[in-house]
Structure 1
Amino acid sequence: MTTETTAVAAKDPFDDPVTSNKMAVRALIPLLITFVLGTLCLQGFNLVFQQVGADVGSPNQASLITAFPSIVLGIVCFIYGSLGDFVSLRKLVTVGLVTLFVGSLFGFVANFFFTANLWTVIIARVLQTAGEQVAGSAFLVVATKYLRNDLKVIFFGLFTAAYQLSASIGVFAAGMLSSIAWQYLFLIPSVTILFLPILLKTLPSKSGNGQKVDGFGFVIFGFATAFLTLFFSYMAWWMLAVSVILYVAFGFYINKASNPFITPAFFRNTRWLRAISLILVFYFVNYALSPIFNAIGTNIYHMTTTQVSLHIVWAFVVAAIVGTCSGMIVGKIGIKAGLVTAGTLMFIGWTGAAFSVNSGFVVLTVWACVFYAGCGMMYSPIVSTVLGTIEKDESGRGVGMNDLAMNVSPSIGIAIIGSLLGSNALAGHSVTGATGVAANYSNLMLIAAGTALLGLIVFFVFKKKIYEGNHALENDKAKAE
């Protein structure tokens, strides 16, 4: 009797599909709130980093306050997702929340009660970034592995909605707190430590697939990603060269190692390669709208950055609303139709803005809302599509690769768009009728529209191959039957 009782007690509820779904939902809510508060803090510091740099006596090095956390984010996005296949999510999230809490307290105490210093700000922000991203990665791994397919699209939609909403709230929070004391920004995500007892009860305790963590492989890939991220921050070509060398070395390593964390077979999955190409194309110019609109507002409409942000924030709100509803919408129309709808909205938004540079900033804001509606709609179907091409026991690595693609692709895009924006290389004339400097902005937005159109073309060309045996479509098939 005692043995039977022990066996029942020791059984992991995540082994049963019904109970795992319930447990996953209970874990996802606090993980989502943690991600929201961490992102809110991130966006807040992105807005006020120049003021912070001036206050700590290092105005010329203020960009490091955002650069170092961005580098860390680029690395941990992939590593945390991948570790979800090997390490207990319970342990991973515990380390993450504690790191986030320590970074929050250290940042506030060191810079409020003592003399504020650039490096105490940077160290605190690095710790906070590394800690909060655990919640984001764990959310996606749990949703992918343990939720029913009809709930996955809903929670993926909530995830992107939460990101967009926290980005807009972060701008306002930073604006208010910067007038009081920016140090209070550090404390925003500290309350998430209260979620730890709940997450310890609701997250799976088993250690992934039981295999030993490939530490050496993670180190090589981590450094390769770090130098790639550094390149897009500083545009130093030797950093790109180092990154390429490390990625090549990583390729040799996984072909020779006895038990690498990711095998060559993962990269030979042509369905996954076709699907991930959709992320690379659709997300290529996702960072470009804000700087282009800021330049238009400043140089054509003589607006301040604050005035521009008060217009753009409505686009973030629209993205949050559409993102919240995207799961239900995709559940009704299907993953394929949802992806096409999102890509079409992105194309229409960029195209409409390109033809409206001289039509007033309110009109431009409307087109920005259309574009961001597409962004809010896109995340759920595209993530479901990509993760549906790999086995569920590889979903952590799939989440990591998605995060990496979503960070690197728009970084490349903003580096290219940014250089063209600053040089006015496309000024003079545009097919939209704009002339002079307005033509530069119009042509850049036409290029952005072209990437959305290219994404749709790639989707229709690869659609049949991508969705052959794609387990993300199980719910769609059940409805059809």
Structure 2
Amino acid sequence: MTTITKQLTADYDLTKSEKKKIIFLICSVLLFSVMNGTMFMIAIPDIAKSFALLPSQVSWVVTGYIILYAVGALMYGKLADIYPLKTLLTIGLILFAVGSIIGFFAPSFIMIVIARMVQAAGASSIVALVFIVPTRYFPEERGKVLGIVSSTMAFASGIGPVIGGIVAGALNWQFLFLISAFVLITIPFFRLWMPAEEKKEGKVDILGALFIAIGVATLMLYITTFALWYILISIAFFILFIWRIFNSQNPFIHPALFRNAPYRTTIVSGFLAIMTLFGMMFMMPLMLAEVNGLNTLWIGLTLFPGAMAAAFVGRLAGAMTEKNGSKQVVYIAFSLMVLGFTLLSTFTGSAAWVISIVIIISYIAFPFIQTSTANLISTVLPRNEIGVGMGIYNLFNFMSGAFGSAIIGKILDQKTGVALNPFTLADGHQTIYSNIFIGLVVLTILNGTFFYLAFKKSAGRLAHPRQA
């Protein structure tokens, strides 16, 4: 056991029962947080119909939520380095519940958007802090717990659209807000079961936080709208943020964090890996609708086995991370992605039940890559930087999903009849989907090569410090 692990364990002398209670709590609220995003994707057409909205208008139900969710994940991560997790989670859960109640009673579309943004401001605390809890409270089991967390996220992603469709169909889409309001029940248990912590030294650079928040928000807006002026504003505020972190006594993010080569490598590789996986998840409903002619219900049922398989293998991913190390599990994730994308490219145009089986391999790569990269970050950062380090990690994850969806959306606008995979079953315009999967295979191989060479270089520098 390392000195750092001994120190962390000594700080919180938790019993096995207390650990189980905390894991149950964080997974319960994470379930609501992730489901809240996926449930409303199904309800978008009903919301547009209720308020007679154009697609560009109703998209703010999702866009506004994603922007606040991404920015909030970074902010809560930074705050976690200073303030007790119990306090931050209490504030986040209250905001999440308040936004849900506002949304349920909202009389207008503007209030719906406001409610969703208040929800995001609270729900982002959950996804930001559940990755910090294992490292802070029981680091000897963090790989195992991160696997459980990844399983929960996969399960919530899969079950969310199903519950959303049932509730919106049987009752009304506004009842989706009411489901999320139930997180209020968990607050007393968090206050009772979470370890007591003292506020640590340090303060938040408000101006630096404002600069990066605006930079990220406008970048996300550019990704979703491709309006040029958003990217110009984003670049300007990122430049201001860089200036600020080099000229502030207490920068929001210390520049030394990005000089940590293993951390930097993990962030970049994680970004590219999650981008390909989210791009695949974005494309699958479109492919199943166009190529296989499925409606919303059957698309959900086709994808459901993959999501459930990912949920079940999360514990395995955690156990393998603990036993074999994070880097080995990253390579397993890359291998699963290459195999899964190759099979999807080959079987594009097949019956839906074939796709439902084949896609399982790609889906189960998700908990492997997420568990291993999150665990790796927690091992390469000093304790006082884990919060903001995890915040950046979550921020990049959200941005990668948006990037993947936007890029693949643009590619799908193109027409082609030339198949890159000579074994594909796709025909005519269907080949565009097959070709994108081949592109994902190539990107994954390049990403894996970069990850291997970067860590090999870092190891060489540690072995020969004078030559670094």
Flag whether TM exceeds 0.5 (same fold): yes
1:56 aligns to 2:51 (yes or no): yes
Instruction: State how far apart, in whole Å, the 2-side matches of 1:143 and 1:468 are.
Output: 30
Match of 2:36 among 41, 44, 53: 41
Contact map agreement 2:69 2:123 (CA 8 A) in 1: no
CA shift, 1:310, in A, is 1.3
Unmatched runs of 5 consecutive residues or more in structure 2 = 1-7, 463-468
Q: Does 1:427 align with 2:417?
A: yes
Conserved? CA contact 1:105–1:186, under 8 Å: yes
Partner of 2:452: 460
Partner SS state of residue 378, structure 1: helix
CA shift digits 1:196-248 (9 cap, x unpaired): 22212333443553112221111111111111111111111211121111111
Corresponding residue for 2:175? 184
2:460 and 2:47 map into 1 onto residues whose CA distance is 52
Q: Does 1:169 find its partner at 2:159?
A: yes
Residue 93 of structure 2 aligns with which residue? 97
Q: 1:359 aligns with which of 331, 350, 354?
A: 350
Residue 27 (1) aligns with residue 22 (2): yes
Measured at CA, do residues 144 and 237 of structure 1 come closer, stay the same or move farther in structure 2, by a change above 3 Å?
A: farther
In structure 2, the CA distance between the partners of 1:467 and 1:174, relative to structure 1 (3 Å rule), is farther
Give the conservation status (yes or no) of the 8 Å contact 2:269–2:447: yes
**Which segments of 5 or more consecutive residues in structure 1 lack a partner in the other structure?**
1-12, 471-481
Q: Hey, what does 2:143 align to over in structure 1?
A: 153
Runs of 4+ in 1 over 6 A off after TM superposition: 467-470
Per the alignment, in what secondary structure is the counterpart of residue 366 of structure 2? helix
How far apart in 2 are the matches of 1:333 and 1:207?
A: 35
**Equivalence for 1:130:** 121
Q: C-alpha deviations, 1:75-102, integer Å up to 9, x for none? A: 1111111110022222211211111121
Q: Distance in 2 between matches of 1:185 and 1:295?
A: 24
Which stretch has the larger CA shift, 452-461 or 230-239? Answer: 452-461
Q: Distance in 1 between matches of 2:281 and 2:197?
A: 43
- Aligned in 2, Cα 1:189/1:342: closer, same or farther, shift over 3 Å? same
Looking at structure 2, the residues matched to 336 and 152 of structure 1 have their Cα atoms a distance apart, in angstroms, of 15
Displacement of 1:21 after TM fit? 8.2
Q: Give the aligned residue type for 2:84.
A: S
Partner in structure 1 of residue 429 of structure 2: 437
Cα distance between partner residues in 1 of 2:97 and 2:10: 31
What is the one-letter code of the residue matched to 2:429? V
Query: What's the offset of the Cα at 1:40?
Result: 1.2
Which residue of 62, 65, 70 corresponds with 2:61? 65
Amino acid at match of 1:167: S
Checking the alignment, whether the CA contact within 8 Å between 2:421 and 2:438 is kept in structure 1 is no
Q: Matches of 1:45 and 1:253 in 2, distance apart? A: 37
Q: Percent identity?
A: 22
Q: Distance in 1 between matches of 2:181 and 2:190?
A: 16
Alpha-carbon distance in 2 for matches of 1:295, 1:141: 35
Distance 2:327 2:417 in 1: 38
1:201-350 mapped onto 2 (5 Å cutoff): 201-350=192-341
Residue type at the aligned position of 1:457: T
| C-alpha contact (below 8 Å) 1:65/1:122 kept by paired residues | yes
Deviations 1:146-187 (A, max 9, x none): 2223x1111111111111111222111111111211111111
Deviations 1:369-414 (A, max 9, x none): 1001111222111111123221111000111011011111232222
Superposed displacement of residue 323, structure 1:
1.4
**Deviation string for 1:311-337 (max 9, x for gaps)?**
011111111111133212333333222
Contact 1:326 1:376 in 2 (8 A): yes
Question: RMSD value over aligned CA atoms?
Answer: 2.3
Distance 1:240 1:449 in 2: 29
Distance 1:372 1:457, change over 3 A: same
Q: Is the 8 Å Cα contact of residues 358 and 438 (structure 1) preserved in structure 2?
A: yes
Structure 2 counterpart of 1:77: 73
Per the TM alignment, residue 125 of structure 1 is displaced from its structure 2 partner at its CA by 1.4
Q: Is the 8 A contact 2:84 2:197 kept in 1?
A: yes
Shift of 1:51: 0.7
Contact 1:99 1:130 in 2 (8 A): yes
Deviation at 1:38, TM superposition (A): 2.3
CA contact (8 A) 2:12 2:195 kept: no
Aligned partners of 1:100 and 1:131 also within 8 Å: yes
SS at 1:322 equivalent: helix
Whole-angstrom distance in 2 between the partners of 1:467 and 1:305: 49
Rounded Cα–Cα distance in structure 2 between residues aligned with 1:319 and 1:468: 35
Aligned residue number for residue 5 of structure 1: none
**What is the rounded CA distance, in whole Å, between the counterparts of 2:212 and 2:69 in structure 1?**
14
TM-score of the superposition, structure 2-length normalised? 0.90
